[in-house]
Amino acid sequence: MLILILLPMAFLLELSPSEIIGGHEAQPHSRPYMAYLAIWHGNNSSFCGGFLVAKNFVLTAAHCNGDKIIVVLGAHNITKNESSQQVIPVRCQHPHQDYDKESHNNDIMLLELESKASLNGDVGLIPLPVAHQQMPPGNVCSVAGWGRTSAYNNLSSDTLQEADVEVMPDSACPRNRRGIYHDYNPSTMMCVGKKEKGKSSFKGDSGGPLVCQQTAQGIVSWGSEMGTPPAVYTRVSTFIPWIRKTMRMLQP
């Protein structure tokens, strides 16, 4: 176990664009697919979420890239040396070739791990959806992460937080030229979270999965600066051919 990954809170304050607001602490290890990504850009550090889709692959957002990434699997309290944790460096980062950091389009990345995870009760895989499957508005899904729980401070959560969020129609993320959703692309993105409920992913949750009917239908991507829902998720089903092709190409 690499103790250096059990990070002090000072590490956790450098956040990537997207936390759980209005949620609650998850039952420890109830989401064995969850991955915590410790990311370095030179001397600067940040973190993201991700999820295990094969023994040696984690899926996350493309904007969670870095010079170096170390994945922690089997974690609940990320500041503690839990016996359930598996700490595995990333061998190679594979962002989507058409990722656009300005529009957030194609915000998806596969991380190839240096070694295979050991699957057990605390570390497991999550299924991916069928290619181009649509998740109709009104479906209630869930999101989880270690990100900030309020827009009014920089404190992230030591423990995994979760919230139920509703899939919204694309019209709930209107592409008004001056609105925050002007780059919303319904073919590659999902609009998630009812404004009245006040529950959403936020800063630090980027890369984590939107789980609908026990499959990873979305990836936390971007949203409002104040964490007001709806937030925007990468639509995983659109990218199933790319995911499968990339994993086949990299398998020994």
| DSSP calls for the chain | --GGGS--GGGGGSB-----BS-EEPPTTS-TTEEEEEEEETTEEEEEEEEEEETTEEEE-GGG--SEEEEEES-SBTTS--TT-EEEEEEEEEE-TT-BTTTTBT--EEEEESS----SSSS---PPPPTT----TT-EEEEEESSBS-TTS--B-SB-EEEEEEB--GGGS---TTSTTTT--TTTEEEE--TTTT-B--TT-TT-EEEETTEEEEEEEE--TT-PSPEEEEEGGGGHHHHHHHHHHH--
CATH superfamily of 140-237: Trypsin-like serine proteases (2.40.10.10)
Q: Where in the chain is the domain with CATH 2.40.10.10?
A: 3-16+32-125+240-250, 140-237
Residue 197 has what pLDDT? 59
Query: How many C-alpha atoms does 51 have within 13 Å on its Cβ side?
Result: 28
Residue 177 has what pLDDT? 86
Residue 42 has what pLDDT? 93
Tell me how far apart the alpha carbons of residues 223 and 200 are, in angstroms, rounded to a whole number: 9
Tokens (6 digits) for 188: 């590659």
CA angle 207, 132, 135 (to 5 degrees): 70
Tell me how far apart the alpha carbons of residues 149 and 222 are, in angstroms, rounded to a whole number: 15
| Torsional sign, CA 92, 33, 35, 71 | negative
Taking 50 as the pLDDT cut, the residues of the chain under it are 1-19
Residue 37 has what pLDDT? 96
Residue 11 has what pLDDT? 32
Residues 6+ apart with CB under 8 A from 153: none
Residue 153 has what pLDDT? 53
CATH code, residues 3-16+32-125+240-250? 2.40.10.10
Residue 22 has what pLDDT? 59
Q: Which residues are catalytic?
A: 63, 107, 206
Residue 58 has what pLDDT? 98
